[in-house]
Amino acid sequence: MQFLDEAKIFIKSGGGGDGCVAFRREKNIPFGGPNGGNGGRGGSIIFECAHGLNTLIDFRYQQHFKAKKGVHGMGQLRTGASAEDLIIKVPAGTQIISEDREELLADLTEVGDRLTLLEGGKGGMGNAHFKTSTNQAPRQFTKGEEGDEMWVWLRLKLLSDAGLIGLPNAGKSTFLARVTRAKPKIADYPFTTLKPQLGVVYAQEREFVLADIPGLIEGASEGVGLGLRFLGHVERC
Protein backbone atom coordinates (compact mmCIF):
# COMPACT_ATOMS: atom_id res chain seq x y z
CA MET A 1 0.00 0.00 0.00
CA GLN A 2 1.33 3.44 -0.89
CA PHE A 3 1.82 5.87 1.97
CA LEU A 4 0.80 9.53 1.83
CA ASP A 5 0.77 11.70 4.94
CA GLU A 6 -0.31 15.07 3.53
CA ALA A 7 -2.98 16.18 1.07
CA LYS A 8 -4.80 19.36 0.10
CA ILE A 9 -8.51 19.10 -0.67
CA PHE A 10 -11.43 21.38 -1.57
CA ILE A 11 -14.68 21.01 0.36
CA LYS A 12 -18.07 22.62 -0.19
CA SER A 13 -21.32 22.15 1.70
CA GLY A 14 -24.61 22.00 -0.18
CA GLY A 15 -26.86 25.01 -0.57
CA GLY A 16 -30.42 25.00 0.71
CA GLY A 17 -33.35 24.52 -1.65
CA ASP A 18 -35.45 27.54 -2.64
CA GLY A 19 -38.91 28.18 -1.25
CA CYS A 20 -41.89 27.69 -3.56
CA VAL A 21 -44.61 30.09 -4.72
CA ALA A 22 -47.85 28.13 -5.17
CA PHE A 23 -51.56 28.51 -4.46
CA ARG A 24 -54.28 26.09 -3.57
CA ARG A 25 -56.29 25.19 -6.66
CA GLU A 26 -59.31 22.99 -6.07
CA LYS A 27 -62.81 22.76 -7.49
CA ASN A 28 -65.31 25.02 -5.73
CA ILE A 29 -62.50 26.88 -3.94
CA PRO A 30 -61.87 29.89 -6.19
CA PHE A 31 -59.67 31.78 -3.74
CA GLY A 32 -57.39 29.12 -2.34
CA GLY A 33 -54.61 30.49 -0.19
CA PRO A 34 -50.85 30.13 -0.62
CA ASN A 35 -49.44 26.65 -0.12
CA GLY A 36 -45.84 26.87 -1.32
CA GLY A 37 -43.51 24.74 0.80
CA ASN A 38 -40.04 25.45 2.16
CA GLY A 39 -36.80 24.27 0.62
CA GLY A 40 -34.74 21.45 2.10
CA ARG A 41 -31.43 21.84 3.92
CA GLY A 42 -28.18 21.33 2.03
CA GLY A 43 -25.74 18.58 2.92
CA SER A 44 -22.99 19.26 5.46
CA ILE A 45 -19.31 18.27 5.20
CA ILE A 46 -18.41 15.83 7.99
CA PHE A 47 -15.01 14.30 8.70
CA GLU A 48 -15.02 10.90 10.37
CA CYS A 49 -12.10 8.98 11.82
CA ALA A 50 -12.51 5.47 10.40
CA HIS A 51 -11.08 2.08 11.32
CA GLY A 52 -8.73 0.34 8.91
CA LEU A 53 -7.20 3.44 7.31
CA ASN A 54 -3.52 4.32 7.75
CA THR A 55 -2.73 6.60 4.81
CA LEU A 56 -4.14 9.59 2.94
CA ILE A 57 -3.40 8.04 -0.45
CA ASP A 58 -7.08 8.15 -1.50
CA PHE A 59 -6.93 11.95 -1.52
CA ARG A 60 -4.30 11.87 -4.25
CA TYR A 61 -6.97 10.73 -6.69
CA GLN A 62 -9.88 12.84 -5.43
CA GLN A 63 -9.33 16.38 -4.17
CA HIS A 64 -12.81 17.92 -4.54
CA PHE A 65 -15.69 17.06 -2.22
CA LYS A 66 -19.06 18.75 -2.70
CA ALA A 67 -22.22 17.95 -0.76
CA LYS A 68 -25.52 18.01 -2.63
CA LYS A 69 -28.05 20.82 -2.59
CA GLY A 70 -31.40 20.57 -0.83
CA VAL A 71 -34.53 20.02 -2.92
CA HIS A 72 -36.71 23.04 -3.69
CA GLY A 73 -40.05 23.41 -1.93
CA MET A 74 -43.23 22.36 -3.75
CA GLY A 75 -46.93 23.12 -3.77
CA GLN A 76 -49.41 21.65 -1.29
CA LEU A 77 -47.09 22.76 1.53
CA ARG A 78 -44.52 20.12 0.63
CA THR A 79 -41.08 20.79 2.06
CA GLY A 80 -38.16 19.82 -0.14
CA ALA A 81 -36.03 16.90 0.98
CA SER A 82 -32.81 17.70 2.81
CA ALA A 83 -29.62 16.52 1.13
CA GLU A 84 -27.51 13.79 2.68
CA ASP A 85 -24.40 14.88 4.52
CA LEU A 86 -21.10 14.11 2.81
CA ILE A 87 -18.89 12.06 5.14
CA ILE A 88 -15.15 12.12 4.44
CA LYS A 89 -13.35 9.24 6.14
CA VAL A 90 -9.80 9.75 7.36
CA PRO A 91 -7.35 7.62 9.40
CA ALA A 92 -6.79 8.09 13.12
CA GLY A 93 -4.21 10.79 13.75
CA THR A 94 -5.37 13.11 10.96
CA GLN A 95 -5.12 16.85 11.50
CA ILE A 96 -7.22 19.32 9.50
CA ILE A 97 -5.38 22.58 8.87
CA SER A 98 -6.41 25.84 7.21
CA GLU A 99 -5.20 26.57 3.68
CA ASP A 100 -2.58 29.05 4.92
CA ARG A 101 -1.36 26.43 7.44
CA GLU A 102 -1.81 28.94 10.26
CA GLU A 103 -4.75 27.35 12.10
CA LEU A 104 -5.36 23.83 13.34
CA LEU A 105 -9.06 23.22 12.71
CA ALA A 106 -9.30 19.71 14.14
CA ASP A 107 -7.22 16.80 15.38
CA LEU A 108 -8.99 13.45 14.97
CA THR A 109 -7.20 10.87 17.10
CA GLU A 110 -9.83 8.27 18.00
CA VAL A 111 -11.74 5.94 15.70
CA GLY A 112 -15.32 7.20 15.61
CA ASP A 113 -14.42 10.88 16.10
CA ARG A 114 -16.62 13.09 13.91
CA LEU A 115 -16.43 16.77 13.04
CA THR A 116 -18.90 18.85 11.06
CA LEU A 117 -16.59 21.35 9.40
CA LEU A 118 -19.08 23.02 7.05
CA GLU A 119 -22.81 23.20 7.73
CA GLY A 120 -25.24 22.84 4.85
CA GLY A 121 -27.24 25.90 3.84
CA LYS A 122 -30.74 26.39 5.26
CA GLY A 123 -33.71 25.99 2.96
CA GLY A 124 -35.66 29.02 1.76
CA MET A 125 -39.20 29.88 2.84
CA GLY A 126 -42.23 29.25 0.61
CA ASN A 127 -44.96 31.84 0.13
CA ALA A 128 -47.20 30.13 2.70
CA HIS A 129 -44.78 31.39 5.33
CA PHE A 130 -45.56 35.02 4.42
CA LYS A 131 -49.36 34.82 4.67
CA THR A 132 -50.83 37.40 7.07
CA SER A 133 -54.26 38.77 7.89
CA THR A 134 -53.64 41.66 5.50
CA ASN A 135 -51.83 39.71 2.79
CA GLN A 136 -53.80 36.60 1.93
CA ALA A 137 -52.03 35.89 -1.36
CA PRO A 138 -48.32 36.62 -0.90
CA ARG A 139 -45.91 35.97 -3.72
CA GLN A 140 -42.80 36.40 -1.64
CA PHE A 141 -40.38 33.55 -1.15
CA THR A 142 -36.74 33.26 -0.16
CA LYS A 143 -33.92 31.40 -1.80
CA GLY A 144 -31.95 28.80 0.08
CA GLU A 145 -28.67 29.76 1.73
CA GLU A 146 -25.54 29.11 -0.28
CA GLY A 147 -23.15 26.45 0.97
CA ASP A 148 -19.73 27.31 2.38
CA GLU A 149 -16.50 26.29 0.71
CA MET A 150 -12.81 26.19 1.56
CA TRP A 151 -9.49 24.50 0.89
CA VAL A 152 -7.91 22.58 3.77
CA TRP A 153 -4.78 20.55 4.37
CA LEU A 154 -4.97 17.05 5.79
CA ARG A 155 -1.87 15.94 7.68
CA LEU A 156 -1.47 12.46 9.10
CA LYS A 157 0.56 11.96 12.26
CA LEU A 158 0.81 8.30 13.15
CA LEU A 159 -0.35 7.25 16.61
CA SER A 160 2.58 5.48 18.24
CA ASP A 161 3.93 5.19 21.78
CA ALA A 162 7.63 5.24 20.86
CA GLY A 163 9.71 6.01 17.79
CA LEU A 164 13.09 4.96 16.40
CA ILE A 165 15.10 7.95 15.17
CA GLY A 166 18.64 7.77 13.84
CA LEU A 167 21.00 7.71 10.89
CA PRO A 168 20.20 5.70 7.76
CA ASN A 169 21.29 2.06 7.77
CA ALA A 170 21.74 2.06 11.55
CA GLY A 171 19.58 -1.02 12.18
CA LYS A 172 16.26 0.61 13.07
CA SER A 173 14.24 -1.60 10.73
CA THR A 174 16.10 -4.70 11.90
CA PHE A 175 15.31 -3.83 15.51
CA LEU A 176 11.63 -3.27 14.66
CA ALA A 177 11.48 -6.65 12.91
CA ARG A 178 13.07 -8.41 15.90
CA VAL A 179 10.86 -6.99 18.64
CA THR A 180 7.57 -6.90 16.71
CA ARG A 181 5.83 -8.90 14.01
CA ALA A 182 6.27 -6.09 11.51
CA LYS A 183 8.08 -6.95 8.29
CA PRO A 184 9.83 -3.78 7.11
CA LYS A 185 12.14 -3.85 4.11
CA ILE A 186 15.73 -4.50 5.23
CA ALA A 187 18.76 -4.04 2.98
CA ASP A 188 22.42 -3.04 3.16
CA TYR A 189 22.08 0.48 1.75
CA PRO A 190 20.87 3.85 3.08
CA PHE A 191 17.23 4.96 2.97
CA THR A 192 15.77 1.49 2.70
CA THR A 193 12.89 2.82 4.80
CA LEU A 194 11.06 5.47 2.78
CA LYS A 195 7.91 5.66 4.88
CA PRO A 196 7.10 5.13 8.58
CA GLN A 197 6.58 1.54 9.70
CA LEU A 198 4.56 0.49 12.75
CA GLY A 199 4.82 -2.59 14.93
CA VAL A 200 3.33 -3.71 18.24
CA VAL A 201 5.71 -4.75 21.01
CA TYR A 202 4.48 -7.30 23.57
CA ALA A 203 6.54 -7.33 26.78
CA GLN A 204 5.70 -8.40 30.34
CA GLU A 205 1.96 -8.54 29.71
CA ARG A 206 2.05 -5.04 28.25
CA GLU A 207 1.97 -3.79 24.69
CA PHE A 208 2.86 -0.57 22.90
CA VAL A 209 3.18 0.69 19.34
CA LEU A 210 6.69 1.30 17.99
CA ALA A 211 7.35 3.43 14.90
CA ASP A 212 10.35 3.17 12.59
CA ILE A 213 11.05 6.56 10.98
CA PRO A 214 13.14 7.10 7.81
CA GLY A 215 16.75 7.99 8.60
CA LEU A 216 18.10 11.47 9.18
CA ILE A 217 21.41 12.76 7.86
CA GLU A 218 23.39 15.95 8.23
CA GLY A 219 21.57 18.80 6.54
CA ALA A 220 18.14 17.19 6.89
CA SER A 221 16.74 20.48 8.19
CA GLU A 222 17.63 21.99 4.80
CA GLY A 223 16.01 19.20 2.82
CA VAL A 224 19.00 16.88 2.41
CA GLY A 225 18.00 13.22 2.14
CA LEU A 226 14.34 12.82 3.05
CA GLY A 227 14.37 15.98 5.18
CA LEU A 228 12.58 16.36 8.50
CA ARG A 229 9.07 15.78 7.26
CA PHE A 230 8.63 12.36 8.85
CA LEU A 231 9.54 13.62 12.32
CA GLY A 232 5.93 14.73 12.66
CA HIS A 233 5.00 11.08 13.12
CA VAL A 234 6.78 10.88 16.47
CA GLU A 235 5.39 14.12 17.90
CA ARG A 236 2.62 12.17 19.62
CA CYS A 237 5.00 9.74 21.36
Q: 167 with 147, same domain?
A: no
Rounded Cα distance, 83 and 80, in Å: 9
How high is the mean pLDDT of the chain?
83
**Whether 68 contacts 109, CB under 8 Å:** no
| Last residue of one domain, picked from the residues 126, 156, 186 | 156
pLDDT digits (tens, 9 = 90+) for 131-159: 998 888 899 999 999 999 999 999 888 76
CATH number of the structural domain spanning residue 209:
3.40.50.300
pLDDT attached to residue 16: 97
Could you give the number of structural domains in the chain?
Answer: 2
Q: 92 with 205, same domain?
A: no
Measure the N-to-C terminal CA separation of the chain; round to a whole number of Å. Answer: 24
Q: 145 with 201, same domain?
A: no
CATH number of the structural domain spanning residue 68:
2.70.210.12
Of 1 and 60, which is predicted with more confidence?
A: 60
Share of the chain above pLDDT 90, in %: 49
DSSP string for 93-133 = TEEEEETTS--EEEEE-STT-EEEEEPPPPPPPPGGGG--S
Q: Which residues contact 114 (CB under 8 A, 6 or more apart)?
A: 46, 47, 48, 49
Q: 74 with 175, same domain?
A: no
Q: 41 with 125, same domain?
A: yes
**Whether 210 contacts 164, CB under 8 Å:** yes
Q: 87 with 195, same domain?
A: no
Q: 7 with 95, same domain?
A: yes
> Looking at 63-67, 102-106, 206-210, which range is the least confident one?
206-210
Q: 151 with 199, same domain?
A: no
Would you say residue 105 has pLDDT above 90?
yes
Q: 25 with 136, same domain?
A: yes
| Last residue of one domain, picked from the residues 156, 176, 204 | 156
> Looking at 41-45, 184-188, 199-203, which range is the least confident one?
184-188
pLDDT attached to residue 178: 77
Q: 208 with 100, same domain?
A: no
Q: 128 with 67, same domain?
A: yes
Q: What band does 219 get if pLDDT is binned at 50, 70 and 90?
A: low
Range of the domain at 103: 1-156
Q: 57 with 28, same domain?
A: yes
pLDDT attached to residue 160: 64
pLDDT attached to residue 193: 62
| Last residue of one domain, picked from the residues 111, 135, 156 | 156
